[in-house]
Structures are given as structure tokens and as C-alpha cells.
Structure 1
């Protein structure tokens, strides 16, 4: 590439590479209504999570670290996701439907933490600490 070529690109504003966003807003995991959680089956909750994720089941399987065949068995009900794999599944789909189904079976509700209120409480505690020190 000649120096004149670089200058031409700088002056005419043509960039061949798009900017790559490294920071983005991360949505909170999706919750379903309590009524829907009561009507869904365990498989229905898993399938709903995959459908609403915008990814297909193979992409989710890859991100969770299981084979496509095993994911197929999970969604048919002949295999299951438990513990850390289930948590990873919910994180990858960004959906809490499986957790809500489990909570419904035990007569509980799922409530998401408000991260802002926790941060405000921590900042207030820090401010009080600094005021006492001054």
C-alpha cells in the first residue's frame, strides 16, 4: 500500500472495516408469566427458552458444551440438563423459564435481584464509612 493510498482513504472517509462494539448493554434474563410457568412442562420451559433466545438448538448446545445429539435428546425428554449445565443453558438462552418451572413445582416464585439497588446500598455504606473517617 502506497502512502498516497492511505491518505486517499483518510480524506475520502471510506473505511473497509466496521467498528466492533466491545461494550454493549446486556439484557436481564427473560421471565415468563407465573400463569405460563404453571401451564408449561419441564420440556416446554426448555424449548421456550431456546425459541426465545434467537438461536437454534445446535448453537445453544455448542455454547453450553454438549453435543448436538445430546441437546436433541434433552429437548425430546430422554436426557436432561442439571446443575451447572442447566445454569449455563439459562445464561446462554438468557431465559429463566426452566428455573421458573422448577420454582412453580415447589410452590415458589422467582424474583430477580435489582443490581442497581445493591450498588446504591454499597455506595451508601462506603459514603458513611468515609464520613466517619473524616
Structure 2
């Protein structure tokens, strides 16, 4: 009985409600739809975590797509929507982290590691000469 309950639980995870109006429909204005699509590609799905909300089939991602399209259609700027999403869900939701003291290691660690690697390689090549 427990195994049956565990196997059927994922099937019951989504609601039976219809998708929000703009979850899977494009905006009539091509410029607004392009702005919405560009923003949706930079926002991480909270459920899938490895996909943007533009690519995710999760119900929550559909709700987020609908919200983005609704706000774009109302005239709100994409950066204002991004800021609101980050305030609501945290910096993690954005595929484009801000350059601020908290994220400096993300931006500068690769450069530092490349420099250290170059120094190590240089030292090794000098020994072999």
C-alpha cells in the first residue's frame, strides 16, 4: 500500500486547475513577446532548478511566465520585473547574478584560478628546460 502511495504521489503533485492565460500563449504584440521571452530565459525555474521558466514544463514556471507576460503587457519594464522576482525569490532565481560584494567570488575566482594555473605551468616548464 505504501509503495503504491509513493508511486502515485508525483502524478498528484500538479493541480487540476487550467493553466493561467499567458502561461502557454504568446502576447499579441511581437515586441512585448520578445521582451518577455528574453526575460524568461534569464529566470531560473524554482521547481526544475536547471531550466529557465521559458523552458520548464512545471506548473509554477507556467504561472511565472503568465506573470511576466501580464506585467510586460501592462507596460512594466523587464528590469523592474527581474528586480521584483529577485526580491521575492532571492538572487538565486536569476541566471545573471549582480556584481556586488557577495558575488565577487563568482566573478573573480575563475580569473584568479587561471592566473595561479599559469604561474604553476610556467614554473613547471622552466624546470624541464
Normalization by structure 1: what TM-score? 0.30
Instruction: Indicate the structure whose relative CO is greater, using CA pairs within 8 Å and at least 6 residues apart.
Output: 1
Normalization by structure 2: what TM-score? 0.31
Larger radius of gyration: 1
